[in-house]
Amino acid sequence: MKRDFTKSTSIEKPGSTLTSGTEKPLAVGISPIKVTVALLCISVLLLLGNLVSVYLIASGKNSQSVLLWYTAWYFDFNGESNFPAFFSTLALMFAALLNLVIYRFLKTNAAADSTYWLVLGLIFAFLSIDENVQLHEAIAKHLRPVLPTDFNGFFYWAWVVPYSVVALAVAAYFFTFVLNLPKKTRTLFIASGLLFMLGALGLEFIEGYYFKLYGLDHLINKILYCIEELFEMWGIIIFIYALLDYARSLNIRLRFNPQENA
Spell out the domain ranges in the chain. Answer: 88-252
How far, rounded to the nearest angstrom, does the alpha carbon of residue 174 sit from its chain's CA centroid? 19
Closest CA to 257 of 21, 4, 13, 14: 21
Query: What crossing angle do the helices spanning 135-143 and 114-133 adopt, rounded to 10°?
Result: 70
How big is the chain, counted in residues?
Answer: 262
Residue 257 pLDDT greater than 70, yes or no:
no
Q: What number is the average pLDDT over the span 229-249?
A: 96
pTM given for the model: 0.83
pLDDT in tens, 159-206: 899 999 999 999 999 999 999 999 999 999 999 999 999 998 989 889
Residues facing residue 27 across a β-bridge = 255
Residues facing residue 155 across a β-bridge = none
| Coil/strand/helix, residue 142 | helix
**Integer CA distances (angstroms), 170 to 77, 102, 120, 197, in order:** 27, 19, 10, 12
Closest CA to 172 of 118, 116, 223, 218: 116
Q: What number is the average pLDDT over the span 224-246?
A: 95
Mean pLDDT, the chain, rounded, equals 84
